[in-house]
Amino acid sequence: MKNNLIYGKVPPQAKELESAVLGAIMLEKEAYGQVADVLKPESFYVLANETIYRAIVNLARKNQPVDILTIMQELIGLGKLESVGGANYLTQLTKDVVSSAHIKAHADIINRMYVSRELLKVAGNIINRAYDGEPDVFELISEVERSLIEISDKSSNNDMVHISQVVHEAHDRIEDWSFQHKENPDIPTGVPTGFTDLDRATRGWQPGDLILLAARPSVGKTALMLALIRHAALGIKPTVVAAWSLEMKAIYLVLRMLSAESNTVLYKIQTGRLDDNEMAKLVKEGMKVLSTAGIYFDDKSEVSLRTITAKSRRLKKKEGLGLIVIDYLQLMESEGKKENRNLEIGTISRDLKKLAVELQVPIIALSQLSREAEKHITWESGPPAWTLRDSGSLEQDADLIIMLWGPSDKDIEKAPEIRNKRRARIVKQRNGVRLTVELDFQDSIQLFKNGEDSPVTNVSNWKPIRDAANF
């Protein structure tokens, strides 16, 4: 037996039901299929029963028949037959079976007992580490949250969904979209980007999507990120935004936002050169407005995905989180062994996608383009997607990839009117079109606006990209 005592008590267990389930599996060939998605070897409290069930799982994976004789041979091959009690114990298990009619109900009870034992382990770990003076109690909280999610994931037994249920959900979703369009056709179905052409192309940031915003340094990537945050939190569909800034402290981000919000030159703000009127304008049009926004910053320079996940879950539950923004992805840390940076970034991007799906919240992750991109960027074509730095599986995991670029000095010499222009190209969109839009960028006040001469002015001739992943 495992875990004989926890806090002086016998842990939750159902030994008789374990015997009944194993006996039924040995006697009836259909029995294992009824419990395979409910029980795992570790679900069993009695160690011998865990070993026997592990042998059953091995047989099933090898597509071999499961009965008392094949189980016995598998245990012999594993060198475990005698340790579980020999052939006599297997025979006794079959004798205790009256019927397999209730095997599913028995398995559910065994699973609940297993979950209870796992919860007791987590609780014990919390108590011990708290008494020992855990140096970082907030990290302990994050670890506990992760452990509880893992227990829930491991023990969940959600049945497959029939298409009729999904069709019903699709009907409700379409009706919601139709009602919203009739009320205001200009409001996107997702979180608004705040830019007309991007909203038309993307329908706003969609729940569960991972969005990459990639550019070379000094193009305006952070300014665009702040504009997107502002439009999400204070736009036509206000929502709560959680922003992680691994490169810049929150105060410097807010200074940029104040500059854009009040149309005040950032240099004058940073050097204390504001006159009384400008200061009053900054307070009235900047500080008072931004203070009402549901924006939360975390500017720790070192942050793991585990921390982002834990804090996002809490904010989702407490405030109704609507958007997550990370600046920038290559500065994030993964946990575990770090063999290769590309693989590490790939792990981070996959986990971010999982988090977006779990919370049903769009995640925008800023990403650096490699230096190689400089050789290939032109004002007309922009950077190719393969220049994503440490790309790993970024292209595969992202639902939407947007490349941002500006004109070079040579481009500006040829056409001075494009000095304050930026272009954003959707190079991948899993559920929509790929295109380029033009934005106006006033660097002095860190302000992005809809481009007056954007190549995209109407969507009547747009066609969906069927194979958006192949770019």
Enumerate the H helices of 132-274 as residue ranges: 137-155, 163-183, 196-202, 221-234, 250-262, 266-270
Token pair listed for 174:
């379409």
| Closest CA relative to residue 241, chosen from 257, 264, 255, 265 | 257
Mean pLDDT per 10-residue section of the chain, whose length is 471 residues:
62 90 89 86 93 92 89 92 92 81 89 89 84 73 77 66 79 82 81 90 92 88 92 92 91 90 88 87 87 90 80 87 90 68 80 91 89 76 70 77 88 88 89 86 88 45 34 27
Could you tell me which residues come within 8 angstroms of residue 159 by beta carbon, excluding any fewer than 6 positions away? none
Q: What is the pLDDT of residue 462?
A: 34
Could you tell me which residues come within 8 angstroms of residue 124 by beta carbon, excluding any fewer than 6 positions away? 6, 7
Token pair listed for 146:
């992760």
Q: State residue 213 phi and psi, 5-degree precision.
A: -115, 110
What is the spatial distance between Cα 223 and Cα 305, in angstroms, rounded to a whole number? 24
Strands 400-405 and 421-429: antiparallel
Strands 321-327 and 240-245: parallel
**Cβ–Cβ under 8 Å, residues 122 and 148:** yes
What is the spatial distance between Cα 248 and Cα 449, in angstroms, rounded to a whole number? 23
Q: What is the pLDDT of residue 47?
A: 93
Q: State residue 369 phi and psi, 5-degree precision.
A: -90, 150
Q: What is the pLDDT of residue 172?
A: 82
Could you tell me which residues come within 8 angstroms of residue 182 by beta carbon, excluding any fewer than 6 positions away? none
Domains, the chain: 15-155 (1.10.860.10), 190-450 (3.40.50.300)
Q: For the full predicted model, state whether its pTM sits above 0.85.
A: no
Q: Which amino acid is at 425?
A: R
Paired strand residues for 106: none
Q: What is the pLDDT of residue 240?
A: 94
Could you tell me which residues come within 8 angstroms of residue 214 by beta carbon, excluding any fewer than 6 positions away? 221, 366, 367, 368, 369, 383, 388, 401, 402, 403, 404
